Amino acid sequence: MHKRFSRPRGFTLVELLVVIAIIGVLVGLLLPAVQAAREAARRMSCSNNFKQLGLAAHNYHSAYNNLPVQGSGTYAVGGRDPWDGNPNGDISSNYRLSYLVGMLPFLEQQGLWEQISNPLSINSDGTVRSPSWQAMGPHPDRVQYPPWATELPTLRCPSDPGSGLPSLGRTNYAACHGDSAVYSRDSYLDVDEVAEGGKLPYISDTAHAAASSASHRGMFVTGRHMKFRDTLDGLSNTIMCGEIATDLGDNDKRTTVATNVGAHAAPNEKNQCRLDPSYAEPYLDPERPQFWTSTVTKQVVWGRGYRWHDYMPPYSQMTTILAPNAQLCSEGTDHRDVVSPPSSRHQGGVHVLMGDGAVKFITDSIEAGNKNAPQVSDRAGSPAAGSKSPYGLWGALGSRSAKEVIDGEF
């Protein structure tokens, strides 16, 4: 009697192909969901970073009775304007430090603050420096100074991939300077008028103060100790900081500063940067409207979000003139009067930090008035100081004391 052995039955080719097809369909369905979940987590982390900044700002105000100053630091006698190359750059920060420097002890960065606020005798490459870097550091472009090259995770949005030189340390969180970019690089007082003999650099300067009062309408004003009491429209109705995407060197209109028409753009031209296709050479690439053309005169060194420690407009300022994720636009041939809307790598909008510490997500479609309207300032052709913002709800959220009523949620 013979025993029969049954051969084990495997998958047929058709069955295997069906299984592979099903797996492929499931992967195709799941991958977008996984990507969306990851972006949602990154966006939540970004929002949490902003909440930490808001808490730090309020704790700073509780300790010192004012917000951290945009445009602080030291100034070498015989130095230059903060926006120029400083011949004494190794011994002075040139009043170029951003609001983020002062907040370091309130962001669990006491060690970094100690390095900055005291003389430092080492370079970024670990070599000994003699004489030491002075307290409050050198000019913000000195890569040899270790703190300036330090990347702080709390200041970075996880959705933003920017890193490395020429940026030094980056930030995705900028101080709100309101709904006017006029004099955006200029201090409340003229800091280059340094008296002979080492006297205090802040001398009587009513012209600069008057110009600043007319156009500097945000919660932060360069060179001025701002207080919560200055926000007459209410902290919950006024933006304190906004999110910005950092420059990747790809001609992105949101992160690369293009220069405007002529040396000094007229008030009704400041926001445009040749967007009208009727120009013989429009600035935006008609085939890729999110990017500047390769022929545009741009300020590459002034990449958005570079140098977290530097107060200059492209680095750590934002305005509520153009809606979120609109283009950067500089008045002349440099970083003067920069229209600097917030931007992000998130879909459809940006985070903003309100004066009361609340973090909100503002969509790109927020009501923003007339984008070609002149900015409020003391210059001829501009709306007078104290005028209602010409940029609708968006502008009203940026101005701290224009007596505008915010009606409903935004």
DSSP 120-146: EEE-TTS-EEEEEEPTT-S-TT-TTSG
- What's the total number of domains in the chain? 1
Stretch 142-168: mean pLDDT, rounded? 90
Q: How far apart (Å, rounded) are the C-alpha atoms in residues 228 and 159?
A: 31
- Please tell me which residue, 310 or 21, carries the higher pLDDT value: 310
126 assigned to some structural domain: no
143 assigned to some structural domain: no
Residue 130 has pLDDT above 90, yes or no: no
pLDDT digits (tens, 9 = 90+) for 44-93: 889 999 999 999 999 999 999 999 999 998 877 655 556 666 666 678 88
Tokens of 109: 């960065």
Give the bridge partners for 118, in sequence order. Answer: none
Q: Is the dihedral of CA 101, 246, 324, 272 positive or negative?
A: positive
Q: How far apart (Å, rounded) are the C-alpha atoms in residues 183 and 44?
A: 35
288 assigned to some structural domain: yes
Bridge-based pairing state of the strands 120-122 and 128-133: antiparallel
Confidence of residue 194 (pLDDT cuts 50, 70, 90): very low
Stretch 217-245: mean pLDDT, rounded? 93
DSSP E strand stretches across 283-390: 284-285, 288-292, 298-299, 317-318, 329-330, 349-354, 359-363
Stretch 111-139: mean pLDDT, rounded? 91
113 assigned to some structural domain: no
DSSP E strand stretches across 184-252: 239-243
- Please tell me which residue, 282 or 159, carries the higher pLDDT value: 159
> pTM for the complete prediction?
0.85
Stretch 309-314: mean pLDDT, rounded? 92
145 assigned to some structural domain: no
Give the model's pLDDT for residue 266.
64
285 assigned to some structural domain: yes
Q: How far apart (Å, rounded) are the C-alpha atoms in residues 401 and 377?
A: 14
Peptide bond into 131 cis (omega under 30): yes
Judged by average pLDDT, the poorest of 134-148, 289-303, 350-364 is: 289-303
CA 193-195-196 angle, to 5 degrees, is 135
325 assigned to some structural domain: yes
Q: How far apart (Å, rounded) are the C-alpha atoms in residues 180 and 320?
A: 8
390 assigned to some structural domain: yes
- Please tell me which residue, 273 or 341, carries the higher pLDDT value: 341
pLDDT digits (tens, 9 = 90+) for 89-109: 678 888 889 999 999 999 999
- Mean pLDDT value across the chain: 82
Q: How far apart (Å, rounded) are the C-alpha atoms in residues 405 and 393?
A: 9
Domain extent at residue 166: 17-68+154-396
